Structure 1
Amino acid sequence: MGTHLKPINLEIPIVQAGMAGGITTPELVATVSEAGGLGTVGAGYMSAASLKDEIMKIKQLTSRPFAVNLFAINLEEFSSEIGQVQNFLNKYRSELDIDQGKDSVKVYDYLQEKVYVVIEENVPVVSTAFGVLSSVLIQRLKENNVTLIGMATNLEEANQLIDAGFDMIVAQGYEAGGHRGTFDVKKYPNGCNIGLLSMVEEFLENCNVPIIAAGGISNKRQIDALLSMGVAGVQLGTRFLVAKEAGTNSAYRRALIKSSSVDTVITRAFSGRPARAVFNRFIKEVEASDCDFLPFPIQNELTKDIRAAGKEFAVADFQSLWAGQGVGAIVREESVKDILTSLIGKDTAEINFEK
């Protein structure tokens, strides 16, 4: 089991998705990796200093390989054309009793610095979303023996990643929670919406690198079926959101446990980029308004204070409750150990949780 993923020496073919925004605590990443899977730091929005700190904490908890997930695009943006959206959002700020929105917004990017941190700290695996890293960054990572995993939502994207030198591809189906890796959201405003099974079949037939399946996966039966198709492994995010070791806040956890598979929608309300979330009041009202969404990452920056207040005050209606279509399988909080045991089956538990 896991021999397909030999480049990164996994004992079990399970990758924990790199969910940005504080979910992937050092404890979550380290416990998954220590069990023989691949834990992943969701570093998309992190500064280089924060990433370094996270990596050092993980290394204190495990000596096993883990990954860092980065956005392959430059997030650096400035905009003062935000008045209409800010005015609309201010009613939520008033309701939450937080400061009104500013007249302009600036988003910073730390991609290059984070790549240096990955190299400096000898992180063995980098996964990416939203595109292809520059050839300069790919060369630097390759020179330092970093395995590159790229997320793709169609065959054209997969081929671009392979041509650029990526070692593995995540086939990310329409069912996946949060932001999928679609490169061109002008061409695909709601993301490239291909179901996982069709995509896996196409990638396996046309790609000459290992394929990892992602999107709506929640149990052992699905994993066994995908492995029998020929994928090298599977990537799961939503199941790990309710892990006791995850950084998911209590209101978010409760919303996930209450939700079924019909409760998720694809929305641009929170970030300006299509992402699958549990439907709530914020999505309903923003999408029903005549307010034009601003592009990612500006919209994401504008809603950040509202989402943070929703988290602080335990109000699920103001949070981006990212979740895949497999959310109905979540019925309780569980430890990483319990989650992994249910995903691979007790009979194959060569997992070492005691180290």
Structure 2
Amino acid sequence: MRLPSLIIGDLKANIPIIQGGMGVGISGYNLAQAVANEGGIGVISTVQIGYKELDFETNSKEANIRALTKQIRKARELSPKGIIGVNIMVAIEQYDAMVKTCVEEKADIIISGAGLPLNLPKLVQGSSIKIVPIVSSGKAASIIIRNWLKKYSRMPDAVVVEGPEAGGHLGFHLKQLQEGKELLEDIVVEVVKVVRGFENGDNVPVIAAGGIYTGCDIVKFLKLGANGVQMGTRFVATEECDAHINFKNAYIDVKKEDISIIKSPVGLPGRAIRNKFIKQTETTDIITPDKCYNCLKKCNPSKTPYCISKALINSVKGNVEDGLVFIGSNGYRVNKIVKVKELIKELVEEAEKC
């Protein structure tokens, strides 16, 4: 059996794999173009994307927009025929401006989670860019679709269903994660049913995400009714990943017991490596930031446990013990750094054997 292609509107990915958006700076243009060139969908993360810009510390908002423009252009230059997506968190202060930049630079897809992207259709009106919300339940999918249909007469172009085994921020309450009753398999079936229940819902692909690691995992979710998968953790340990080598090696060195659920300043639980930094946050009420980047809509610097921007920037630059290292639940299984081409070949061959 050959893996089916993933069709999102007039876009066709030969391989039904979306590479997850990982910030700060983990999935930039280099990783995105490599995945796109192999027939998947490459995704750039916008979270504090301008951290390398010279004026980032003094002018972060403009630095972020400038950097996003550069990154989309570089990805497109290196993958002129590939599908380039951008992941934008609803929780960020610059949400509207980031969406506008993606439209202007003609990115192919905007994938949006960490909140409900209820006004996203309005922000992309008049463009051909595809819009894809991330949900963690059938209820969330229903709310978004009903809202979009009522206000904009528009369905999502696809829906990503992210389960509790994902890395980074999770759309679940801490109690749900601790009880372990929420399973991606069940949520995917639920969301497929919700989406298919709407008129033209059969044309909206559902993408399973969170803890998907092998080719056989891909096949499992396709059989449950998903049209493709989104994978983040597997793509960190690739040569083309935009993170520092120390960040990649943190994945290779991590043990299963070192991966834990943490409380994030975003207001959502997250999954990360329990390193020196995380242990420090557990014993300190507030790690006062040197400055506030005003990056999140709902962040109060005087009450937040630590500055998430600083923590993520430290880790992507290689200072992984003094930074936040997000990772999926299966991250401990990573044991080597490979090229994107090798990884996708391995996943496809596994899937076809399954």
> TM-score surpassing 0.5?
yes
Q: Does 1:151 align with 2:143?
A: no
Distance, in Å, in 2 between the alignment partners of 1:269 and 1:128 is: 18
Indicate the residue corresponding to 2:7 in structure 1.
5
Equivalent residue in structure 1 for 2:187, among 199, 202, 223: 199
Of the three residues 300, 315, 321, the one matched with 2:325 is 321
For 2:271, the aligned partner's letter is R
Q: Which of residues 121, 125, 147 is equivalent to 2:109?
A: 125
| d(CA) in 2 for partners of 1:55, 1:126 | 12
Distance 1:147 1:37, change over 3 A: same
> For each residue in 1:128-166, what CA deviation from the matched residue of structure 2 results, as whole angstroms up to 9, or x when unmatched?
01223343x413425312211111112211112222232
Measure the CA separation in 2 of the matches of 1:177 and 1:28. 17
Letter aligned with residue 281 of structure 2: V
CA deviations over 1:32-86 (Å, ceiling 9, x no partner): 111111000101333221111111111110122211111123x3xxxxxxxxxxx
Q: Look up the equivalent residue of 1:56 and give its one-letter code.
A: R
Aligned residue for 2:151? none
Matches within 5 A, 1:90-105: none
Contact 1:18 1:41 survives alignment (8 Å): yes
Aligned counterpart, 1:35: 38
Q: Which amino acid counterpart does residue 161 of structure 2 have in structure 1?
A: A
Give the direction of change, closer, same or farther, for the CA distance of 1:190–1:17 in structure 2 (3 Å limit).
farther
Aligned counterpart for 1:339 among listed residues 329, 336, 343: 343
Distance of aligned partners of 1:202 and 1:140 in 2 relative to their CA distance in 1, 3 Å threshold? same
One-letter amino acid of the counterpart of residue 221, structure 2? L
2:160: which partner in 1? 170
> TM-score normalised to the size of structure 1?
0.78
Aligned residues of 1:190 and 1:266 also touching (Cα < 8 A): no
1:222 is the counterpart of 2:211? no
1:2 to 1:261, Cα distance in 2 relative to 1, 3 A: farther
Q: Return the offset for 1:310.
A: 5.5
Compute the RMSD of aligned alpha carbons: 2.8
Partner of 2:280: 285
How many angstroms apart in 2 are the aligned matches of 1:342 and 1:297?
A: 45
Distance in 2, matches of 1:6 and 1:273, equals 29
CA contact (8 A) 2:34 2:340 kept: yes
- The question of whether the paired residues in 1 share the 8 Å contact of 2:30 and 2:242 is answered with no
**Counterpart residue type for residue 84 of structure 2:** F
* Residue equivalent to 2:122: 139
User: Using the alignment, how far apart are the partners of 1:69 and 1:307 within structure 2?
Assistant: 16
Instruction: State how 1:43-82 maps to structure 2 within 5 Å.
Output: 43-46=46-49, 47-63=64-80, 64-73=82-91, 75=92
Number of residue pairs matched?
308
Q: Distance in 1 between matches of 2:205 and 2:300?
A: 31
Query: What are the within-5 Å matches in structure 2 for residues 230-269 of structure 1?
Result: 230-268=225-263
Q: Unmatched 5+ residue regions in structure 1?
A: 76-108, 349-355
CA shift in 2, pair 1:166/1:300, >3 Å? farther
Give distance in 2, aligned partners of 1:29 and 1:241.
Answer: 12
Gaps of 5+ in 2: 50-63, 149-154, 197-203, 290-297
Cα 1:321–1:168 shift into 2, 3 Å? same
SS at match of 1:200: helix
Equivalent position amino acid for 2:68 in 1: L
Partner of residue 88, structure 1:
none
Kindly indicate whether the alpha-carbon contact (under 8 Å) linking 1:25 and 1:245 is maintained by their aligned counterparts in 2. Answer: no
1:177-218 Cα deviation digits (max 9, x unpaired)? 0113x2xx7xx3577772211211211222223210111111
Question: In 1, distance between residues paired with 2:312 and 2:107?
Answer: 31
CA contact (8 A) 1:269 1:286 kept: no
2-structure distance, mates of 1:262, 1:272 = 24
Which residue in 2 is equivalent to 1:273?
268
2: CA distance between counterparts of 1:308 and 1:44? 10
Which consecutive aligned stretches of 4+ in structure 1 deviate over 3 angstroms post-superposition? 1-4, 189-193, 269-273, 288-301, 303-312
- Counterpart of 2:85 in structure 1: which amino acid? A
Native 8 Å contact 2:312 2:325 kept in 1: no
| Matched residue SS, 1:5 | strand
